[in-house]
Chain A
C-alpha cells in the first residue's frame, strides 16, 4: 500500500465520520468570517434557534466593503457612504457582538483582508482545517493546513456543527522544479500554472504545490500560489511544512505557547506527503521557462509571458475556445497578435488577498523607488492587506516611496480586487492589477483587468504600458525577489 499525501493526512486527522453514501463529516478548527457571506448564515441560525458550536474557533473582520481612503476610514463605519454596504458591515458587528465572536472591527489595527489577517495572527496553523465563505481560502493551505472556500449554507453549517460535510477529493501534485529567474515571482508561477492546466484543470482535486522552486518561496510567496488554486478550479491548494513555515509562526498571537511549541513543531514536521504517496495526477513545470506573466483575457487561464502577444482566436483548437477567445478580445478591446508590451493602461491596483503582504509591497516599492507614475495613468493605488502590513510598510518607509512616485497609499481592505467599495474601474479602462480574477466587470462595470505581479504592476504604472521587469536597470525589480 502506498503512503499518504499531505491532503490524505489532513483529511484523516479531521475525519469525524465517514458515511456509507460517500460523504464525510470533517471537523473544522478555524472559521474566518467577513461581512459579505455571513449575514444569511447568522440569520439561518437565528431562525432555527441554533447556537454556534464553538465560539473560539471563529475570527471575524470586515474587508470587502470597507473604504480605503484615509478620510473615510477615520470616520469608522460611518465613513462607509454606500448605505447598503454600511448595513452589511454593521450586521457583522452586530452578529459578532450578539454571539460573542472575536472581531477585528473596521479601525482595529489588526483589521484587514481575512486571508492576510488569519496567517498574520497565527490563527492559521499547520495541521488545521480552515474554512471561510470566500473562495480564496485556499491561501491558508500554504501552511500545510486544509483550507476550503465554502458557501453561506456551509458557513451556517460550520457555525452550528463545527463540521463540514465533504467528499474526499482526488490528489494532484503540481511540481515546479528549478530556479526562478530574477524578477519572476510567485504570482508569475501560479499564473503560468493556471495557463498550463486551465481554470478547470484542478476541479475535483486538492492541489499540492511542490518542487524546488516552490520550496524556495517565502511564506508570502507560497500564500500567493495557494491563493489562486481556485483559479485553476481546485478548492484546496497545499504546500508541505518546512523550516520556512515554522520560522514564520513563532510568536504570532494565536501560535502555540512556549510549553506547547515543541510538541506542535514535531507534529507539523509530519505534514508532508510520504515519498511513496500516490497522486492521481502530476503536472510539472520548469522554473527557468517561466517569465513574468500578464493576463490578456477575461479568465485567469488567458495569460501569457511578457514577451508574448495576444493570441489569434482562430488559432485555438476547439470551437468553444475560439468563441470564448474572440469574445474576450472584444470585451478587452485588444487585437489578435498585439504585443503584450503594447497594451496601454489607465489604472494600476496593487493589493488583494493575492498580493498585499509586506513582501509584495517591498517588490513593488523597489520598482517605484525614484521613479514617477506615467502621466497617462489616471490612478495608481497601493492597498495594504491589513493594518499591520500597513504599519510595517510605513516603518520601512515604503509608503513614502510610493507617494513620492505618485501612487496613492490607502487603508487596508479588498478594494478594487472586486470593487464592492468605492474603488472601481470605469468602463473600458485597462488596469494592471495584482489581484486574482480578470472576469468581465470584476473590477467595475466594463473594466478591463490584466493580472500581474506587484513588480510588474509598479513597472507598468511608471511606463504607462506593460514592460518586462527583467529589463529594468539593476537595483530595481531584478532584485525584488531577494527581499
Chain B
C-alpha cells in the first residue's frame, strides 16, 4: 500500500444517497481474479449508456454526458463528494479497487456503510465523515466553482477549502497510522503470532467441538 500524503485535488460531487456497491461496480466485473483494472467500469451503469461487459474496450462505448464524472470540469478528480450511507450493500472489495483505480484517493460523505469503510482503508482510500450541513455546503461550493479543489491533510485530520475554511474530521488511530505509513495489516498482526497461538490452544481446550472435522 502506498503512503497517504497530503494533497490538493479536484472534487467531483455525486449527489445521491445510499450509493450501493452494485452501483459502484456492477456484478459482471466481479468475475475478474485480479485486483486491478476496475477503474474503467467504476459506476458503469451511470457512466455509459449501454450495458458493459468485462474485458470490453470502454473507449468505444457511448458515454452518459449528464453523469458527473463525464463532465470536463471534473476530469482528474481525486476527491469524491457523496451523500449519506455511501458504499452500502455487498462486501465486494472491487468497489474500493475501482475507486482507487479510477484515481480517487478520498471520499467525503456524512456516513459510510461498515464493510465498505473497512475495505476502503485497506486499499489506501481515506474516507472522511463530515456533518450533513458541512457536506451540503461543500456540494454548493463545488457546483458553483469550476476547478474546485480541497486540500486533504490526514496527519492533522482536516480538509481545507479554497477559501481557507478548515473542516476537521475524526479517524481512528490505527487506520490513520496504517494509511500514513502505507502499512500491511497482516504483517502487523503476525507480530502477535505468539498471542494468537496461545489463545488458540486455550480455545481448543475449552471448546474442542469448534475444531472438529467430520470423520
Residues of A within 8 A of B (CB): 14, 16-17, 19, 21-23, 25, 27, 29, 36-37, 39-40, 43, 48, 50, 53-54, 56, 64-65, 82, 84-85, 87-88, 91, 121, 125, 127-128, 133-135, 137, 149-154, 156-157, 160-163, 165, 167, 199-200, 203-204, 230, 233-235, 253-257, 260, 263-264, 267, 299, 320-321, 323-324, 327, 418-420, 437, 439-442, 445-446
Given contacts A27-B200, A128-B210, A160-B190, contact A17 B195 (CB under 8 A): yes
A-contacting 9-mer, from B22-30, B99-107, B141-149, B157-165: B22-30
A21 x B93 contact (CB < 8 A): no
Nearest chain A CB to B199 CB, angstrom units:
4
Return the contact of B27 from the options A56, A253, A254, A418 (Cβ within 8 A): A418
A65 to B18, CA, bound (A): 26
Does B83 count as interface, using CB distance less than 8 angstroms? yes
B91 touches A133 (CB 8 A): yes
In Å, the complex CA distance between A257 and B54 comes to 47
Q: Are the C-beta atoms of A437 and B113 separated by less than 8 Å?
A: no
What are 8 A-B contacts defined by CB distance under 8 Å?
A36-B92, A128-B210, A153-B119, A161-B189, A163-B189, A199-B88, A200-B88, A418-B22
Asked if A149 and B91 sit within 8 Å, CB to CB, the answer is yes
In the bound complex, residues from chain A placing their C-beta under 8 Å from that of B200 are 27, 54, 162
- Beyond A65-B31, A150-B118, A203-B111, list 4 extra A-B contacts (CB 8 Å): A16-B195, A22-B173, A153-B123, A440-B22
The closest CB in chain A to the CB of B112 belongs to A203
CA distance A54 to B192 in the complex (A): 16
Q: Interface residues, chain B, CB within 8 Å of chain A?
A: 16-18, 20, 22-23, 26-28, 30-35, 45, 51, 54-55, 83-85, 88-93, 96, 111, 113-115, 118-119, 122-123, 172-174, 177, 184-186, 189-190, 192, 195-196, 199-200, 203, 207-214
The 5 A-B residue pairs whose C-beta atoms are closest, nearest first, are A256-B209, A151-B119, A39-B33, A151-B93, A153-B122
A167: B residues at CB distance < 8 A: 172
Instruction: State A137–B90 Cα separation when bound (angstroms).
Output: 11
Q: Contact between B33 and A88 (Cβ–Cβ < 8 Å)?
A: yes
Determine chain A's interface SS by DSSP, over half rule: loop
| Complex Cα spacing A431 to B51, Å | 19
Contact B16 A324 (CB under 8 A): yes
Asked if A84 and B55 sit within 8 Å, CB to CB, the answer is: yes
B51 engages A25 (CB within 8 Å)? no
User: Complex Cα distance A288/B146, Å?
Assistant: 55
- In the bound assembly, the distance between CA atoms of A37 and B211 in angstroms comes to 24
Q: How far is the CB of A309 from chain B (nearest CB, A)?
A: 22
Q: How far is the CB of A342 from chain B (nearest CB, A)?
A: 26
With both chains docked as a complex, state the minimum distance between the C-beta of A296 and any C-beta of chain B, in angstroms.
Answer: 15
- CB-CB under 8 A from A21, the residues of chain B are 172-174, 177
- A27 and B203 CA atoms in complex are apart in Å by 9
Chain A CB within 10 Å, residue with most, of B115, B172, B213: B115
- A324 / chain B contacts, CB cutoff of 8 Å: 16-18
Most buried by A among B20, B27, B213: B27
With both beta carbons as reference points, the residue of chain B lying nearest to A148 in the complex is identified as B115
Q: Which residues of B contact A40 (CB under 8 A)?
A: 33-35, 93
Distance of A23 Cα from B16 Cα, bound (Å): 31
Tell me the minimal C-beta distance from A158 to chain B in angstroms: 10
Centre residue among B122, B172, B189 by max chain A CB count within 10 A: B189
CB distance B93 to A37 under 8 Å? yes
Q: Which residue of B lies closest to A95 (CB)?
A: B33
Which residues from A are CB-within-8-Å of B177? Answer: 21
Q: Which residues of B contact A150 (CB under 8 A)?
A: 91, 115, 118
Partner of A25, one of B33, B114, B192, B203: B192
- Complex-state Cα separation, A48 to B196, whole angstroms: 20
B66–chain A nearest beta-carbon distance, Å:
13
Q: How far is the CA of A167 from the CA of B199 in the complex (A)?
A: 18
Are A253 and B122 interface neighbours, CB within 8 A? Answer: no
A157 touches B189 (CB 8 A): yes
Query: Are B115's CB and A43's CB within 8 A?
Result: no
- A320: chain B residues within 8 A (beta carbon): 17, 83-84
Instruction: Determine the distance from Cα of A267 to Cα of B190 in the docked complex, in whole angstroms.
Output: 30
Contact at B111–A200, with CB atoms within 8 Å? yes
Q: Give A264 to B212 CA distance when docked, in angstroms.
A: 12
Q: How far is the CB of A49 from chain B (nearest CB, A)?
A: 12
Report Cα–Cα, A440/B189, bound state, in Å. 38
Contact present for B26 and A441 (CB under 8 Å): yes
* A14 contacts across to B, CB distance below 8 A: 203
Taking a contact as CB atoms under 8 Å apart, the answer to whether B115 and A151 are in contact is: yes
Which of B114, B177, B184 is the most central at the interface, judged by chain A CB atoms within 10 Å of its CB? B114
B189 and A165 form a contact (CB under 8 A):
yes
Closest chain A residue to B120, Cβ basis = A151
CB atoms of A152 and B18 under 8 A apart = no
> Do A199 and B26 have beta carbons less than 8 Å apart?
no
- Inter-chain contact A233/B84, CB cutoff 8 Å: no
With known contacts A84-B31, A260-B208, A151–B214 Cβ distance under 8 A: no
Of A135, A230, A256, chain B has the most CB atoms within 10 Å of the CB of: A135
Chain A residues, CB < 8 A from B88: 199-200, 233
CB distance from B16 to the nearest CB of A (A): 7
| A contact residues around B90 at 8 Å (CB) | 134-135, 418, 437
Among A65, A160, A199, A256, the most chain B Cβ lie within 10 Å of the Cβ of: A199
CB distance from B188 to the nearest CB of A (A): 8
- Do B174 and A22 touch across chains, with their CB atoms under 8 A apart? yes
Shortest distance in angstroms between A155's beta carbon and chain B's nearest beta carbon?
9
Q: Is the CB of B114 within 8 A of A203?
A: yes
Given known A-B contacts A65-B31, A127-B210, A84 and B54 have beta carbons under 8 A apart: yes
Cβ-defined partner of B33 (8 Å) among A50, A87, A441: A87
Given known A-B contacts A441-B22, A441-B45, A154 and B118 have beta carbons under 8 A apart: yes
Chain A residue numbers with a CB within 8 Å of B210 are 29, 125, 127-128
A64, A160, A323: the one contacting B186 at CB < 8 Å is A160
Please indicate the chain B residues that have their CB under 8 angstroms from the CB of A152 in the complex: 35, 93, 119
A156: nearest chain-B partner, CB-CB? B186
Using A56-B213, A153-B185 as known contacts, say yes or no to A445 and B196 having CB atoms under 8 A apart.
no
Q: Is the CB of A299 within 8 A of B33?
A: no
Knowing A17-B192, A149-B91 are in contact, say whether A135-B115 is a contact too (CB < 8 A).
Answer: yes
